[in-house]
Amino acid sequence: MTSQDSPNPRPAKGRRSLFSQFNNWISASGAVIALGSLFAFLLLFALDTITPEGSPYLGILTFIVAPAFLVIGLFLILAGWLFDKWYLKKTGHTSSFLAFSLDFGNPVERRKFIIFGAGASIFLFLTALGSYRTYHVTESNEFCGEVCHKVMEPEYVTYKQSPHARVACVECHIGSGATWYVKAKLDGLYQVYATLADTFPRPVPTPIESLRPAQDTCEKCHWPQVFTGNLDRMAERYMADSDNTPFTTRLIMKVGGGDSRMGRVEGIHWHTDPANKVEYIALDEKRQDVPWVRLSREGDEEDTVFMRDGFDDMDELAKHEIRTMDCIDCHNRPAHVMLSPNDAIDRAFTLGRLDTGYSDLKYVAVDLLSAGYETREEAHAAIRDGLLGEYEEVDGVEDTITEIIQIYDTNFFPYMQADWSKYPNNIGHKNWPGCFRCHGGEHYNVETEEPMAATGCNSCHTIIAQGAGDELLTLNPVGLEFAHPDGDVEGLLCSDCHTGALQ
């Protein structure tokens, strides 16, 4: 049999063209992958460009995932060429056994090419379809909360039960505009690395340094300058005694407004009046320690500076940035509230999910929820054992166990070491200083030595009823002095004793 008659002829030695050096199935496979990923990159890049309010995770797919497959494809092309070169050098042949040829006059090769072309077309179509579907998936709240399930579980669980559950994550964390979109994209790249390398902090730190100003996000829906007026609120609490004694405070909250065209500029939202610029310096990352405040008002020739009594370390102040107050300085947990054990049990009593007839249930439940647990399973077992040990003979104890475990699962996340104690809530002043960071009676005008305004209990709210039963039927429009149910607390802040756990 001659070499021409051989089913696998070895071509004669000679020089090879540049194209023939990549004429092998390894390089061809790499070329298909590279072309497909390039096509996906171009499509995702187009979507990324024309939709500036999209998810930052789309940028991860566009600038990391698609290029990664492109690099893999190019690597295979190079690997095929190197293998082909090594094989030919070793054997002395001019054509590799991996080489392929296209002879359209040959029905077999023509059929192979048609099959390959059809497969490549289907591959590109599926790439386009997958890229488009991926774009929509990355915009969803489920993607933000569930792709990095363990890392973002606390934020996602609390978000779903918050007043902002119908607002997409990207609307607050990114908002509109290309500049902040790019910043979010860059932050997202590091977050992906931290998740893969298991170097992310536990719990997720707040406040978020890269969060854009509230004027660009919150105020797209909420217009704080609009006059709100007064709001009627009920603070329903229960004592940690044998009777779970209720104590309710009915308040008129002086929310007010910040636009003189719609009402008097007064109340809590006085801070939102564009004519009142409030700046402050916080010494800690959580923005709880505020020794310096500056007020700039339209029409005033000079700014008013307030300092906390006894603080005079100007060198320390110079190390920290001056921040302009906005919505988030008070409403700092608008969508991710983790209730303290005390507040969660109080709410369950109020809504009838727990029975106040269980003796000492407030004390027992708060004590069980406050204990530190390494895992959720450990917490479930401890809660069940603790409640059965106290109320095994009481009818309905299983419902009580179920409710308290549910409270734990929606407010405590041991894997991320996240609970109420890690995230100060600046609305109010019960478990955290909140308003009293500035209005606690310790800040004085550096020029006149006058105390900062609005430091009294009735500055922001008026108590019109307090107590239980018939005591709540009589309303006092003038306002009552707060009567603490557990004795005199003169000179103390609420948060000095109230920590969210037993006190």
In this prediction, residue 52 carries a pLDDT of 52
| Main-chain phi, psi angles of 323, to 5 degrees | -110, 135
pLDDT in tens, 258-270: 767 777 778 888 8
| Main-chain phi, psi angles of 368, to 5 degrees | -65, -40
Higher-scoring residue by pLDDT: 300, 244:
244
**CA atoms of 392 and 364, how far apart (whole Å):** 14
What's the whole-number average pLDDT of the chain? 83
In this prediction, residue 86 carries a pLDDT of 78
Residue 121 burial (CB count, 10 A)? 10
What is the per-residue DSSP string for 90-125?
Answer: HH--SS-TT-----TTSHHHHHHHHHHHHHHHHHHH
The CA-atom distances, in angstroms, between 84 and each of 3, 197, 335 are 22, 37, 59
pLDDT in tens, 122-178: 776 776 666 666 656 666 666 666 666 678 899 999 999 999 999 888 788 876 665
Q: Would you kindly state where each structural domain of the chain is located, as residue ranges?
A: 19-139, 141-211, 229-334+425-497, 341-422
- Unique residue bearing structure tokens 């707040």: 206
